[in-house]
Amino acid sequence: MKDKLFDRLVKRGTLVVSIGEREQGRYGSGEPVAHVHLKDRRVIARLLSDPEMAFGEAYVDGDWWPGRGGLAKVFELYFANAEHIGGSRLMSLARRALRGLTEVNGKLRSARNVAHHYDIDNDMFQRFLDPEMQYSCAYWSQPGMTLDDAQLAKLAHIARKLNLSPGDKVLDIGCGWGGMALYLARHYDVEVVGLTLSDDQYAHAIKRAEALGLSHRVTFVKQDYRDHRGAYDAIVSVGMFEHVGRPQYQTFFDQVSRLLKPDGRSLIHTIGRNGPPPANSRTWIQKHIFPGGYIPSLSEISPCVETSGLVLADLEVWRRHYAETLKAWNTRFQAQRELFSRRLGERFCRMWEFYLLGCEAVFRYGDLIVFHVQISHANEAVPITRDYLYENDTARPSAMVASRERALDSVG
């Protein structure tokens, strides 16, 4: 039975299946070649019983593991055969298990969801992220960039889209460890309020602001965005919208509309998808990595923007940038794996490997992208062309290296 199943699924590339250390069969031919070792025959039944959840959980449990080529080749082989196996319940997991689904994220649930992922271990995040602690897609705008350069390029690109003037008041919804807020205050002479629900991120952000001498211009608040009040010249949100939950989309954009001044600008940086919504079932990534997460399509965002009274001023789509970011994160994660295994456990490391490599594969071969949704109340709030994004571009990575080094030296 398993031979017929594998023969049907593998039309491009080669799948080599072993049980224990003994090879049981080769299916397909050519590249890519993925090697999968099963602990015993019972693993096959486990995978078939609940593939969306069991594929990742069995890997974390050590019931299966990749051979030569590693886990990345397993995901590559899947996407090489996606057109043949798209309807297969067994293999639809790579599209579905690595996406979240709709959650009704009330304020208490939102706080719990944030703590589940972001309050794991600040030191772990510091060891595989860049110095600005950017846990979102980097902008690989030039050949030969490092992760640090690409994250600085992302900060600079977003900052230019906000079209800031000295003295502007800026709100950062979902500020994380404070990197964006501190960057804006440091380079644009603006006042920034950053909102987070994470205890660890809040403490780290305040410490960084003090170390950089920016506490007088940057205020971090542990608060749900729905409770915030104020009036802002610019609102930015990077990597937070994925946690809002589809039922709260209208609430989110209504709140942005209330907080944004009549001539204000807002930039929402979020993962998006080019495909249909995921099946309404609990998924691996939602259970183990991002509870309450949901990846939007543009068709789910646009009606809420329009209803809120905002104007869609510009839209940019980043393709493959997140694949390169996740690859860089995993490289750094693997460099520290022995330490992470001692501190957080081997199961934790396998879970994060599956998460990082699986998500890289979906961005590289699948239908996930990144949206830059630029919105405002008035058409004239944003320049008529994109030329302003690239004129007098002194904040490109090569020009920011010295600034970055000074900032790191001041933090110690």
Through-space distance between the first and last CA atoms of the chain, rounded to whole angstroms: 61
Considering only CA atoms, give the Rg of the chain: 22
Residue 193 CA to residue 213 CA, distance in Å, equals: 15
Q: Which listed residue (137, 175, 304, 359) is catalytic?
A: 359
Do residues 137 and 321 touch, judged by C-beta distance below 8 A?
A: yes
DSSP three-state, residue 397: helix
Do residues 191 and 217 touch, judged by C-beta distance below 8 A?
A: yes
Angle CA 106–110–116, to nearest 5? 150
Neighbours of 19 (CB within 10 A): 17
Beta-strand (E) ranges in 174-251? 191-196, 218-222, 232-238
Residue 46 CA to residue 38 CA, distance in Å, equals: 11
Clarify whether 359 is annotated catalytic. Answer: yes
What residues are annotated to the active site? 359
